Amino acid sequence: MEVFVRSPAARAPSAGPLAAVTATVQSHLDEVESRIAQQAAAFDPAIEGYVTYAIGGRGKRLRPLVALLSGGATGGVTSAHVDLAVVVELIHIATLVHDDIMDEAERRRGEPTVNARWGNSLSVLLGDCLFAHALNLSTNFKKAEISRSIAQAAREVCSGEIIQTQRRFDLHLAIEEYFRIVQMKTGSLFAVAAESGALLHEADPATVRSLKQYGMKIGTAYQIYDDCLDIAGNENVIGKTLGTDLRKGKLTLPVLILLRAAPAGEREEYCKLIVDGRAEEMTDLLKNGAAGQSLSGSIQAGQKMIREAQSELTGLPPSFYARSLLQLGDGLCELLEQLRD
Amino acid sequence: MEVFVRSPAARAPSAGPLAAVTATVQSHLDEVESRIAQQAAAFDPAIEGYVTYAIGGRGKRLRPLVALLSGGATGGVTSAHVDLAVVVELIHIATLVHDDIMDEAERRRGEPTVNARWGNSLSVLLGDCLFAHALNLSTNFKKAEISRSIAQAAREVCSGEIIQTQRRFDLHLAIEEYFRIVQMKTGSLFAVAAESGALLHEADPATVRSLKQYGMKIGTAYQIYDDCLDIAGNENVIGKTLGTDLRKGKLTLPVLILLRAAPAGEREEYCKLIVDGRAEEMTDLLKNGAAGQSLSGSIQAGQKMIREAQSELTGLPPSFYARSLLQLGDGLCELLEQLRD
């Protein structure tokens, strides 16, 4: 957990194991940042302030990073790739605004959430506005295929979240179903970022497919990391409330591995803890108990997925950016590894 | 109010003053209906049921009607026009799902709302899904301009709703600002339906502009009608709770005309009624009191707007469909007129 110990700002990839990768496209990421900031001006003056607030919370910008690197690896980072990066991040931000309503979240990255500041009604509409604006921007790509894939990915993200909502506290959720939900709600936006980065260069179908797979797997692994962090992270260091998944009945990989591996008697006991909302006891078990293996198993599953993602890159011509895509995987592996400490 | 007296089903245009217009494109509207119903299959099986429920409540399909007639008047109703009709209606349905969350509405067209049945979280996500799906479908139009206009219109609708939310209980709302909100939240989707109907035929720019204006004005007039109905309608006949705008602090045209026309002393009294949430007393005043003129003034404003919309049609070559567009205006005028009874 070394990287998180320094300061809350250390959450940004710029200070973590992803720093080296981010640095390779820093100037492009800066451009993404400034174009994101410019988007507020496209809205009605009465809305502009809310948009500025919603897009202002500096996120990790991982989806933009994937879009830029994929473009770089298939012909170079063009202005259209910066646009693509902006579009996928705006979609991500729109879903966060709506997530915070559903989670009744009070703070995000240290600031009050949109719903905490202006209520749920405004948050619903603001998320919609951001969403529509992102899809509007995406129609500027010359290839209709790209805007179509982006809209499809947006639908996948929401569909994944619906299924997750449906399956809260569902102790029969299979590990395969967990993976499917994660692929939909997180993987698909990473996948379309990587895929479209290559499509913008009219890369050959095999390359486009490989990069899409890379994005899907990296995104899925990132969600596994985030889910493990919710159990194994240190609240004071991460800067957000942890253990929230279990409290909300979201059964993530460590819990599912635990339930699957446990002998019938123990399993029943764990199920009772979950259903009774005794999330802290479950978290303790997952972190420290004999059940700690389920956390380690999850970390391993995430790392395996990253290796699979990296194996998708073998067909790419060797380049600075292809190497960065590989390094992004290494960085994520390291982040996962640090959760063992 | 003759037309509404028969039965709740009379709300559908098929039985009202719009019946003649609807009949002119009935077979196409039936196709729209069946294509809307087919959309559920495009979603994950876990989501399909919710989508079916959300799209199942048979609305008036006015936006599809405008899209079809505009296509008819500029070269004929093609399969692409049916698609266009489906897209604008799906966007409309998505906004209704989100509106019902914000209004905490329990019923829509006699059935429980999505939020009443499955809660707010699912409704937020389902609205998003429908929205993304509609914008996804819109990328199938050969002209990127059309999908761009549709996404922009969707953003306008949400932006208009945000401004409306901001200005609740704002007694300084000017009539001009009311019109702007209504143009954004309702006019823009009608406008894009009419505009795109012509664009699909590569109609000349002047025709495209005129039809867009027609849609904007017809949509705005329809919203004025709906706002007046909330005051002047008969609850038992219309089949939904009325007077809700005032209770929620939405200041609509009749109220704004009343406030503007009243002498200072009376004005203050009205403002107090509004702020104190005495919506029923205000509604009585607007319907029956000396203040009844403000309702009549609103009806007149709506009818004036419809005449303006119709004047946009003069450049169209005479045709069956051009006549239907005109008749749609006449039908709306009649609906407004019936509110005087």
Cβ distance A154 to B162 less than 8 Å, yes or no, reads no
Q: Is A319 on the interface with B (CB under 8 A)?
A: no
Distance CA A19, CA A202 (A): 29
Nearest CA in chain A to B166: A122
Residue A323 near residue A73 (C-beta atoms within 8 A)? no
Domain harbouring B301, CATH code: 1.10.600.10
pLDDT, tens digit (0-9, with 9 covering 90-100), for A129-168: 999 999 999 999 999 999 999 999 999 999 999 999 999 9
pLDDT at residue number A20: 86
pLDDT at residue number B285: 82
- Residues of chain B with Cβ-Cβ distance to A139 below 8 Å are 139, 144, 147-148, 151
Cβ distance A151 to B139 less than 8 Å, yes or no, reads yes
> Which residues are bridge partners to B3 per DSSP?
none
pLDDT, tens digit (0-9, with 9 covering 90-100), for A99-117: 888 888 888 878 889 988 9
Q: Is B52 on the interface with A (CB under 8 A)?
A: no
What number is the average pLDDT over the span B35-53? 93
pLDDT range class, residue B281, cuts 50, 70, 90: confident
Residue A112: helix, strand or coil by DSSP?
strand
Residue A107: helix, strand or coil by DSSP?
strand
Cβ distance A144 to B148 less than 8 Å, yes or no, reads no
Question: Residue B98 is nearest to which of A124, A138, A144, comparing CB atoms?
Answer: A124
> Which residues are bridge partners to A107 per DSSP?
A112
Put simply, the chain B residues between 55 and 84 with a CB less than 8 A from any chain A CB are: none
What number is the average pLDDT over the span B80-87? 98
Kindly compute the dihedral angle of the four CA atoms of residues A24, A28, A30, A36, in this order, to the nearest 10 degrees. Answer: -140
Put simply, the chain A residues between 156 and 185 with a CB less than 8 A from any chain B CB are: 158-159, 161-163, 165-166, 184
pLDDT range class, residue A281, cuts 50, 70, 90: confident
pLDDT at residue number A88: 98
Nearest CA in chain B to A141: B144
Interface A:B, Cβ pairs < 8 A: 144
- Residues of chain A with Cβ-Cβ distance to B140 below 8 Å are 144, 148
Distance CA B274, CA B280 (A): 10
Q: Which domain holds residue A10?
A: 2-338
- Measured in angstroms, the CA of A245 and the nearest CA of chain B are apart by 15
Q: Which helix (H) or strand (E) holds B111?
A: strand B111-112
DSSP sequence for B90-110: HHHHHHHHHHHHHTT--EETT
User: To the nearest whole number, what is the mean pLDDT of chain A?
Assistant: 89
Chain centroid to CA A256: 20
Question: Residue B148 is nearest to which of A122, A136, A184, comparing CB atoms?
Answer: A136
Distance CA A46, CA B259 (A): 24
Q: In chain A, where do the E strands start and end?
A: 107-108, 111-112
pLDDT at residue number B7: 32
What number is the average pLDDT over the span A166-183? 96
Is it the case that residue A290 has pLDDT exceeding 80? no
Question: Residue B126 is nearest to which of A101, A139, A162, comparing CB atoms?
Answer: A162
- Measured in angstroms, the CA of A208 and the nearest CA of chain B are apart by 20
Kindly compute the dihedral angle of the four CA atoms of residues B3, B6, B10, B15, in this order, to the nearest 10 degrees. Answer: -60
Distance CA B155, CA B199 (A): 20
How many domains would you assign to chain A?
1
Question: Residue A151 is nearest to which of B95, B135, B163, comparing CB atoms?
Answer: B135
User: To the nearest whole number, what is the mean pLDDT of chain B?
Assistant: 89
Between B231 and B181, residue with greater pLDDT: B181
pLDDT at residue number B4: 24
pLDDT at residue number B23: 87
Q: Which residues contact B318 (CB under 8 A, 6 or more apart)?
A: none
Tokens of B271: 């403002």
- Measured in angstroms, the CA of A326 and the nearest CA of chain B are apart by 32
Tokens of B79: 């399969």
pTM check: above 0.95? no
Distance CA B301, CA B291 (A): 16
Nearest CA in chain A to B152: A136
Question: Residue A162 is nearest to which of B125, B159, B184, comparing CB atoms?
Answer: B125
Question: Residue B129 is nearest to which of A124, A125, A155, comparing CB atoms?
Answer: A155
Cβ distance B102 to A120 less than 8 Å, yes or no, reads yes
pLDDT at residue number B250: 93
Cβ distance A121 to B165 less than 8 Å, yes or no, reads yes
Question: Residue B128 is nearest to which of A98, A144, A152, comparing CB atoms?
Answer: A98
Q: Which residues contact A259 (CB under 8 A, 6 or more apart)?
A: A171, A251, A267, A270, A271
pLDDT at residue number B8: 35
